[in-house]
Amino acid sequence: MLSLWASSWEANPRQSYGFFRIEILGALVSIQLIWLLTGILVYEAITRLIQQTNDDVDGFFMVLVAAFGLVVNIIMIVVLGHDHSHSHSHSHNHGVHDHEHDNDEQLLEKPKEGRNINVQGAYLHVLGDLIQSIGVMIGGGMIWYNPKWKIIDHICTLVFSIIFLGTTLHWNSFLTKTMLRSILDVLMESTPREIDAKQLEKGLMEIEEVVSVHELHIWAITVGKVLFSCHVKIKQEANDAMVLNKVTDYIWREYSISHVTIQIER
């Protein structure tokens, strides 16, 4: 929540792109906290398994508390899932200049797609609680049935903690793609995975007036806010403005990238 608030700060001469990447840093911290807490649970479970502790465990109370937590987490997942499914936006094309296709107002507008990374962070926390609640219910139910099976509590904690940890590292039906990979892609300024840079360059080369394309860069300042820049060498007799229009229109039409900077060369 703090990163969402901070990312809405106005851009300034020093932070000309705004504070969108605070979202990414917040999401990264969120994942690290998840790993830390999960690691503590795994450590405690393994320690108790090795030491064979005989602590009293109230199976009925475990089931009761876990059931309440399960209901709350299901409600939270429904709410977050609804927010996630409706938090998409579409940008629109705009005018161009001889060297730069730009729209400060659109860039600084809060992209709803960018907020998905924070929704995913909250989703992961709730998903972790949900998985742990299921594990506690299973373990509590078995201990309630037979109080001597106290070891089940530690085994369930260990197993379900590892399962949850896996949801932050691998593809899963809840988050579509891993949150961690999205964060690293933005921080490393990688080309967004949904965009084929080679295919985009090939499409630009198919424009009749274009001779060559170089210094092509595609990156994101946050999830869902993509920027593009390149140098385009054109034929001597070609009209700069016309080629610029063709290039920017192609990039918008095929890849929905609206913040485009093109340098025309001869």
- The domains found in the chain, sorted by start residue, are 2-187 (no CATH), 197-265 (3.30.70.1350)
- pLDDT for 138-149, tens place per residue? 888 888 888 888
Rounded percentage of the chain residues whose pLDDT exceeds 90: 25
pLDDT at 90: 38
* 257 secondary structure, DSSP code: -
- pLDDT for 47-85, tens place per residue? 888 887 666 777 888 889 889 988 888 887 787 665 545
Dihedral angle sign, alpha carbons of residues 241, 245, 246, 247: positive
- pLDDT for 200-235, tens place per residue? 999 999 999 999 999 999 999 887 789 999 999 999
- What secondary structure, in 3-state letters, does 130-179 show? HHHHHHHHHHHHHHHHCCCCCHHHHHHHHHHHHHHHHHCCCCCCCCCCCH
- Higher local confidence (pLDDT), 90 or 4: 4
